[in-house]
Amino acid sequence: MPRKPRFYVPGAPVHAVQRGHNGSAVFFDDLDYLEYLRCLKQAADSCGCAVHAYALMTNHVHLLLTPERADSVGRLFQSVGRHYVRYINETYQRHGGLWEGRYKCNVIESQAYLLSCMRYIELNPVRAGMVDHPAKYRWSSYAANALGVSNAVLSAQAEYVALGRLPDDRQSVYRGLFDSVADSGELALLRCALQTGTPLGNERFKAEIEAALDLKVGFARRGRPQKKNS
């Protein structure tokens, strides 16, 4: 079966997830998380990707990125993979690949879903039962986006900046997004779009993406996701 093509439009945010091979762990020590973030920062700068949110889980990573160019996301994952896998193999005296063959991703309409996607990503450790609040998980972007902790990896996206005139105001409004339970339909839609690789947004957004790419790209449907993995 031919691979489903990926769709990137410069300036349009992308939700991406990459999992360990056969569900295996990709982080084994705190130093591994720090090395991944170093690789991510280096790749984001060199490949032209802004990183808005992330969650580094034991056996997978979630990223929210905005590419400057159509090839920025692909180049970022190639760069991170090359450097981080070499680090893991050398550190733990192992051989071979670390990740599943392909990362999953989809384009996000920022006005409608950017903040929902950020919340979805940063709540991964809570849904996984690792912590009872995202602030207690060290390896996500929540501390930066919600509490103002300095984080050189991240770049603020326009929808986040619009939450308030001052950083404290933005962080307060952003924290408020986590006070209510996420709508199950919204969660299903975010998961479905990621699994199928289809753009997530309204009909106008879909039309703009198809016009920019000059092809039909489909649209995520509401419903049960293909997998229950966070």
For each of the chain's 230 residues, which pLDDT tens digit applies? 445 566 788 899 999 999 999 889 999 999 999 999 999 999 999 999 999 999 999 999 999 999 999 899 999 999 999 999 999 999 999 988 899 878 999 999 877 799 999 999 999 999 999 999 999 999 999 999 999 999 999 999 999 999 999 999 999 999 999 998 777 788 888 988 888 888 887 777 777 777 666 666 655 554 443 444 55
Euclidean distance between CA atoms 161 and 173, whole angstroms: 11
φ, ψ (nearest 5 deg) of residue 108: -120, 135
Cα torsion through 149, 200, 19, 21, rounded to 10? -170
Euclidean distance between CA atoms 62 and 213, whole angstroms: 25
In this prediction, residue 157 carries a pLDDT of 95
Q: pTM for this structure?
A: 0.88
In this prediction, residue 49 carries a pLDDT of 97
In this prediction, residue 223 carries a pLDDT of 40
From the list 121, 92, 80, the residue with the least C-alpha distance to 28 is 92
In this prediction, residue 219 carries a pLDDT of 52
Euclidean distance between CA atoms 90 and 107, whole angstroms: 34
Euclidean distance between CA atoms 134 and 147, whole angstroms: 11
Domains of the chain: 14-213 (3.30.70.1290)
In this prediction, residue 128 carries a pLDDT of 95
Inter-axis angle of helices 72-92 and 30-47, nearest 10: 150
Interior angle at CA 195, CA 29 and CA 129, nearest 5: 40
Contact, 66 vs 156, CB < 8 A? no
In this prediction, residue 1 carries a pLDDT of 42
Locate all alpha helices (DSSP H) within the chain, ordered by sequence: 30-47, 72-92, 110-122, 124-127, 142-147, 158-161, 167-176, 184-196, 203-213
